Amino acid sequence: MSSETPEKKRIAIVTGGAKGIGAAITRRLVADGCRVAIVGRDEAALTAMCDQINSEGGEAIGVTADLADPDVAETICSTVEDGWGPAEILVNNAGAARDNLLIRMKTEDFSDILNVNLTSAFTLAKRCTRPMMKARWGRIINISSIVAVMGNAGQANYIASKAGLIGLTRALATELASRNITVNAIAPGFIETEMTASLPEDVQAKYKDRIPLGRFGTSEDVADLVAFLASDRAGYITGQTLRIDGGMVMA
């Protein structure tokens, strides 16, 4: 029999947690024994995800919310607290893109993407932090992107938001460390998604040539890293941006 003490069943919020990378993160946290509140705009997807998890013995609730609304953080956290108690793990995974070249990008295309990708992470972190501080334990994990490090044409709004998450991570990590709250960012590279699967084979091959491991990552690769950072095992890691890109960016 193992002598290890099981970790406490934690309460987690995962934004954008019903699809793609977010769905893998949700499933992994549930598998690790967490109760997960899944936040998103697609009510049907949230319901289907929660029904599947709950039918398999896990615990999940869906919270329908538009993260572009700066006041929605209160609704999300209050819903979770009314059902289970304060969130101890926050995964800011939700992300939107509205690509265009700088000279063609409208101001609202820039501000709207920042609201969803960056401002929502700030407002949720702010709302979740007080009970985390009281409990003297918390994990905040921000899903950034490798393009925040390397840049990419036609994504000024998206990259600004994802680079902002890295700065936010460092600031919050510095502020919250004394209360045993860690804050880290993950910067995924090319991950197998519906979008990458739709790329022509020659384009996929071109991208893979830039990756030393020679393949795209999986959503589960990202989810595994999130699960580690959310655990007690990562208690001495904070303020970091961890790239999960197969070695594409090493500088």
Beta bridge pairs of residue 185: 142, 241
Q: Evaluate whether 24 touches 223 at the Cβ level (below 8 Å).
A: yes
Q: How far apart are CA 130 and CA 230, in angstroms?
A: 18
One-letter amino acid identity for 59?
E
One-letter amino acid identity for 239?
G
Structure tokens at 156: 């000024």
Residue recorded with tokens 């007080």: 130
Minimal CA–CA distance to 16: which of 36, 53, 41? 41
Q: How far apart are CA 191 and CA 77, in angstroms?
A: 30
Helices (H), the chain: 20-31, 43-55, 72-83, 107-114, 120-135, 147-150, 156-176, 194-197, 201-208, 219-229
- Spatial neighbors of 123 by CB under 8 A, at least 6 apart, are 70, 72, 73
Spatial strand order in the sheet of 11-15: 59-64, 35-40, 11-15, 89-92, 138-143, 181-188, 241-244
* Catalytic residue ranges: 158
